């Protein structure tokens, strides 16, 4: 997948998440479509490209709504790299597996993000966030991932003999 195409997918996913998925928040918690897409692409293309895809997705988030340019880029880059490490180690036919990675990476990504925000002077109560927000987001992401993965896996398989 070309970087331009990946950028286009990230933009579409970003618009979906701010318009379609925001009103569908569960207890005020929204899914992270950019993380889901980063993990799926990293799982299919490996760590270096995964980290780069994460940077593209994070940069878009930072530009549109973020106030700290670079923060989402950094967190999504780390998530992409970690997910990419599993490329080739697990059969991509396991449609449920990316969901599990997304579930775990949601915790890592949010913890990193809260730590970085606190470093930048934005205080978010860590315990309350971990108890009230992160588990709901992780479960929401877990259920959405297989549907999105199916679409991308099919398009990649069609291109690779």
Partner 1 sequence: MAKRYWGKTLLIGVLLTVLLLSLARYTTRELPFFEGLKSGLKDLTYPVVRGASYLMEGAGNITSYFKDINALRREREKLVQENTALKFELNKLKEVEQENFRLKAMLGYSQENPQFDLIVSKIIARDPANWYKSFTLNQGKSSGIAKDMPVLDQNGLIGRVINVASLNAEVLMITDPRSSVAAVTYFSRVPGIIKGTALSSELIMDNIPLNLEIRPGEMVLTSGQGGIFPKGIPIGYVVSVTKDPSGLVQVAKVRTYVDFDRLEEVFILKGRR
Binding flag, residue 126, partner 1 (CB under 8 A): no
Residue 26: phi and psi, rounded to 5, are -100, 115
**DSSP 8-state class, residue 125:** -
Candidates 23-31, 94-102, 143-151, 153-161 — which segment interacts with partner 1 by CB under 8 A? 23-31
Binding flag, residue 130, partner 1 (CB under 8 A): no
Site string for partner 1, 35-74 (x = CB under 8 A): ------------x-------------x-xxxxxxxxxxxx
Run of H or E residues at 50: helix 47-64
Candidate list 2, 4, 5, 23; residue touching partner 1; CB under 8 A? 23
Residue 116: HSE in the Cβ half-sphere, 13 Å Cα cutoff: 16
* Nearest to partner 1 of 17, 153 (CB atom): 17
* Nearest to partner 1 of 2, 27 (CB atom): 27
Closest CA to 144 of 63, 1, 35, 28: 35
Summary count for the chain: helices (H), strands (E): 7, 0
| Count of residues touching partner 1 (by CB under 8 A) | 53
Binding flag, residue 2, partner 1 (CB under 8 A): no
* Nearest to partner 1 of 43, 81 (CB atom): 81
Q: How far is the C-alpha of 145 from the C-alpha of 143, rounded, in Å?
A: 6
Two tokens at 17? Answer: 């998440």
Residue 142: phi and psi, rounded to 5, are -55, -45
Shortest distance, CB of residue 63 to partner 1, whole angstroms? 6
Candidate list 77, 101, 105, 148; residue touching partner 1; CB under 8 A? 77
Burial class (CB in 10 A: 0-12, 13-18, 19+), 111: middle
By the criterion CB under 8 A, which residues form the site for partner 1? 11, 14-23, 25, 27-30, 32-34, 47, 61, 63-74, 77-78, 81, 110, 113-114, 116-117, 119-125, 128-129, 132-133, 137
């Amino acid at each position: 997948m070309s970087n331009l195409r990946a950028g286009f997918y990230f933009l579409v996913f970003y618009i979906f998440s701010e318009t379609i998925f925001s009103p569908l928040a569960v207890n005020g918690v929204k899914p992270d479509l950019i993380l889901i897409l980063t993990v799926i692409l990293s799982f299919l293309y490996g760590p270096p490209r995964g980290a780069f895809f994460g940077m593209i997705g994070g940069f878009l988030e930072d530009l549109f709504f973020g106030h700290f340019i670079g923060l989402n880029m950094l967190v999504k880059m780390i998530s992409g790299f970690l997910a990419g490490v599993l490329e080739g180690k697990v059969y991509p036919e396991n449609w449920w597996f990316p969901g599990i990675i997304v579930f775990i990476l949601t915790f890592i990504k949010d913890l990193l993000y809260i730590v970085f925000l606190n470093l930048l002077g934005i205080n978010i109560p860590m315990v309350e966030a971990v108890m009230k927000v992160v588990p709901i987001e992780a479960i929401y992401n877990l259920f959405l991932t297989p549907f999105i993965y199916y679409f991308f896996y099919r398009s990649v398989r069609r291109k690779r003999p």
